[in-house]
Chain A
Amino acid sequence: MRTATVLLALAALLIAAALLAAGIGPYRIPPFAVLDALWQRLIGGPVQTTIDTVLFNIRLPRIVAAGFVGAALAAAGAAYQSLFRNPLVSPDILGVSTGAGLGAVVGILLGFPVAMIQLLGFAGGLATVIIVVTLARALRSSGDVLVLVLAGIVVGALAGAAISLVKVLADPYDQLPAITFWLLGSLSGVKAHDVAATVPVVLIGLAPLILLRWRIGVLSLGDDEARALGVEVGRLRAVVIAAATLVTASVVAISGVIGWVGLMVPHMARLLVGPRFDRLLPAAILLGAAFMIGVDTLARSAARIEIPLGVLTAVIGGPVFVWLLAYNRRKLLP
């Protein structure tokens, strides 16, 4: 079982990345000390104040958040690539990130507290996709995928224009940097309660994708073929869009807009386990989580200031993607 081996290796990679990330930072903690602190916490042993404070209040929430952000974006990207029968589609195809961005920047403009900004981001993402789906249905009741994508482009462009307007209106010394920083993505402000609010929503969204993995793969053959094979395409597509939107909107709300991950990680996973969605999804989830933990660790430790995640994923993602295209053309594109 090649797939099982790869998945085990990816799980090991994820754990290693998390342990290393927990130790890296201004206050270094060796991996064994991390393990020991986790074990003591588990069995209720003695508390080592400094290590515990750094680990449980600062680093672990951020690591868990990074893991879920990566897993959610990679899973949503993989599902959309199968749904839209296009390996170059990302979770943003229906405008969820742009919509979430608009919600959040409006929140920043109005001077709302962080929790409210996150909620607005989440609501903006959901609302944008609902508008896109409603518009597509109004234009073509048969539920044509092409109309859906075009509606996504139109609504996404409108939301993008609205974001630009908010930037113009924002206070250039205080709000504009906050808006720019949010739009580039960061986990620097993530707290334990953010993680506690986000994780259940991501899990609720991932569950249908995992349960329906086989049918989502069949969907990649096209609507007619999938239906002839016994798949209720309309219903399945609605579930996939709802689930992918839910996970993307919920993580974008705490992390801001992070590009590339949803596009690139499924491709890397495809190279490891092949194109079948039921194998691709778990690989993409594990790889996405490990990748994002690595990128976020780099973002907080590579320079004196926090590097925006969107910048890092683009800097890493662009060249990696070109490399993938150059050396693995056969496996990536027909």
Chain B
Amino acid sequence: MMLLDARDLTIGYGRTAIASGIDLAIEPGTVTCLLGPNGIGKTTLFKTLMGLIPSLAGTVRLDGEALAQLSRERIARHIAYVPQAHPAEFTYTVLDLVVMGRTAYLGTFGAPKQADYAAASDALEQLGIGALAERDSTRISGGQRQLALIARALAQQARIVVMDEPTASLDLANRILVLDTVKGLAARGLAVVLSTHEPEHAFLVADKVAILGRDRFVTGPATDVLTPAQLSSLYGVALEVETTPSGRHVVGPAAS
């Protein structure tokens, strides 16, 4: 059963289309990785998939219903957004940040109750960062902040988690931590969609890879899509993919 289904999508801002002919189906329990060069429209595609900006053509359906017809509250109960980790303007505690994930369940005039705080604490515990609850969310590491935002998605009880470059600007240990968490989410039946600049991350975690280029949108299993030819033309530099004896895939510049 498809959760989120985009058909023949044209994305862009205002009247300017930046990509078209996008078909993408997001299924539960899978990780979908989106790759593409800087400025190609990965974030725009994500925003369109979440209904934050309208598609210029084509439709996105959530459980068969057109996203454009649904209220923000309704969408928020199904799709959570994990933006690129950025320090907030106000110094909320980690728990306060996570409990904001309950907004779609509070009613227009409501504020979180005991059960909502319990759900938020539970989400933090599940990700192993329960100890951070009372810490200032602007004073934790980038990896911890990313986990806190993932915890917010769990508190939101979303079935789809959209993550914009979750491993960007993280150190090696935190990248591994976040990628492991992503796999854990999929193992629990959630659908994860994430963008990355590391093809190797896609080989590691993706059930499906989508590449967004200047004139193409291709989806499929990582080994089918992330070929040397495809990657080279996507990024405009000669690249090769090497498979190590242990079965890992390493992407690097082609030997001239």
A residues at B contact (CB < 8 Å): 82, 85-87, 211-215, 217-218, 220-222, 224-225, 227-233, 274-276, 278, 330-331, 334
For the complex, give the distance between the alpha carbons of A229 and B111 in Å: 14
Q: Mark contacts of B106-140 with chain A using CB atoms, 8 A cut-off: 1 yes-contact digit, 0 otherwise.
A: 10111110000000000000000000000010100
Question: B52–A331 contact, CB under 8 A?
Answer: no
Across the interface, which residues of A come within 8 angstroms of B104, CB to CB? 229-230
- B76 is an interface residue with CB less than 8 A from chain A: yes
Q: Mark contacts of B88-99 with chain A using CB atoms, 8 A cut-off: 1 yes-contact digit, 0 otherwise.
A: 111111001000
Listed stretches B79-87, B171-179, B217-225; interface member: B79-87
Interface size on B, residues (CB 8 A): 34
Give A236's nearest chain B residue, CB to CB: B108
**Assuming A87-B90, A224-B47, A229-B103, is B76 touching A334 (CB within 8 A)?**
no
Question: A225–B81 contact, CB under 8 A?
Answer: yes
**Assuming A232-B72, A334-B88, A334-B89, is B77 touching A214 (CB within 8 A)?**
no
- Return A138 CB to nearest CB of chain B, in Å: 15
Across the interface, which residues of B come within 8 angstroms of A217, CB to CB? 100
* A–B Cβ pairs within 8 angstroms, 20 of them: A211-B109, A213-B111, A214-B106, A214-B111, A215-B108, A217-B100, A220-B88, A220-B89, A221-B100, A222-B83, A224-B52, A225-B83, A228-B50, A228-B80, A229-B100, A229-B103, A230-B76, A232-B71, A276-B96, A334-B88
Which of B87, B91, B110, B156 contacts A229, CB < 8 Å? B156
Number of A-B contacts (CB under 8 A): 79
For the complex, give the distance between the alpha carbons of A224 and B76 in Å: 12
**Assuming A276-B96, A330-B91, A334-B89, is B52 touching A227 (CB within 8 A)?**
yes
For the complex, give the distance between the alpha carbons of A214 and B83 in Å: 21
For the complex, give the distance between the alpha carbons of A82 and B88 in Å: 11
- B73 is an interface residue with CB less than 8 A from chain A: yes
Question: A228–B76 contact, CB under 8 A?
Answer: yes
**Assuming A331-B91, A334-B91, is B111 touching A231 (CB within 8 A)?**
no
Across the interface, which residues of A come within 8 angstroms of B52, CB to CB? 224, 227-228
Kindly list 15 other residue pairs between chains A and B, CB separation below 8 angstroms, not including A227-B72, A228-B52, A229-B101: A82-B90, A86-B89, A220-B88, A228-B50, A228-B80, A229-B81, A229-B103, A230-B75, A232-B71, A275-B90, A275-B92, A276-B96, A278-B111, A330-B136, A334-B89
Across the interface, which residues of A come within 8 angstroms of B108, CB to CB? 211-212, 215
- Return B81 CB to nearest CB of chain A, in Å: 4
Question: A214–B88 contact, CB under 8 A?
Answer: no
